[in-house]
Structure 1
Amino acid sequence: MSGVLLSSNRAKLAIPPLTSGRAYTVKGEQVGDPKKEIIRRVLYPSNIKNRPTPIGTWRPDIGRAIQRAIPSVQAHQTIERAWLLHKRHLRKKRDAETARKFECMQEAMDELYKLDPKLYLEANRSEDPRARSKAEMELMKTLKTSEMRTLAARIRGLFPRELRIPTDTPARTGWNYEWKPFPRPI
C-alpha cells in the first residue's frame, strides 16, 4: 500500500525514481530516462531560429553578412574560381616538386647501377617483412613464449617496439644491471 502511495506522490511531484535507466511516469505521461533526454538534446539540438548558437556554428544573420560582403552572384563565382585556381597552382607546384625528387632518385639509382650492380640489386630487392630466416626460426625455438611473441611481432625495417623511452628522471627502482636487450634477428 505504501509503495503505491510513494509512486503516486512521485508522479505528482515530478520526481524521477531512484533507479536510473528506466522510464518513469509524470501526470500519466510516459517520460524517458532524463540522462538519455539530456544526451539527445545535446547531440540533436532543436532548430533555433531566433538566436545564434553559443559556439557559432549557426548564425541567423549569415545571409545578410554575406550579402554585405559579396553583393552579387558574379562576385561570388569570381572568388570561387580564383580560389580553385590558387589550389590548382599549389597542386602543380607540389607535383613538380615530387617529380623533381623522383628524377633525382632515379639518377642516383642509375649511378649506383653503374658503380656496383650487386648493390643496386640489393637496394631494389623486395622482401616480405614477415618472412623469417632459418637462423631466426632456430632462435625462436630457444626463447620463452613472451620473447617469441615479441620476436614474431617485430617487423624488419620498423622502429623497434621494445626500445626503452628516454626519460628525464631515473626509474623509481634504480638501475637494472641485469637488463639485456632482446636478441636481434640475424
Structure 2
Amino acid sequence: MASLFLRRAVLSTVPASRVLVPRAAAPSSVEHTSDARTELIKKVLFELPSREPLELSEEDQERNETIERAWKLVKMIEREARDAELERKFRAMREAMLELERTNERLFRGALVRNRHITFPRQMKIPTETPPTAGWDYSYKAPEAIEATPTKAQKVDESSS
C-alpha cells in the first residue's frame, strides 16, 4: 500500500500538465505481470515500516504523557502569542487606513489601487523563523562578574543573623 505522504511528494514534483488521471479501462486480454525488481522497488518505496509498540511502564507512560501535554501547552501559548501579534498589527493597519481616509481621500484611494506590474523585490531576505547559519560563537567570553546589590531576602537573612 502506497503511503499518502509519498504519493503527495511524487505528485508535487510532477508538473500539473503531466499528472495522469486514472480512468476506467476496458478489460484487457493481456495479463500484466511485474518482475521481482519492480515489486522490490514498490515494497521499499511504498510500504510503511512496521513498528513494534513501545512497552512502557506506568511511570514512564505518565512521564511521557506529561511531557506531551507540556509541549502542546508551549506550542499553544506560542501560537496564541503569534495570533495576538498578527491581530494587533492588522488592527493598527486598519486604524491607519481609517485615519488616512479621514485626512486625505485621494491618498486613501491611491493606497487601495493595486499595480499589476510590480515584481517582488528579489534582493529582499525571505522571512524565516529558523536559527542563524552562523551558529554558536565559540570565541565568546563572559563579561567580568559585577557585584550584585543584595536582594531583600538576603538583607533579611543578614539582619536576622
TM-score (normalizing by structure 2): 0.42
TM-score (normalizing by structure 1): 0.37
Q: Which has the larger radius of gyration?
A: 1
- Tell me which of the two structures has the higher relative contact order, counting C-alpha pairs closer than 8 angstroms and 6 or more residues apart: 2
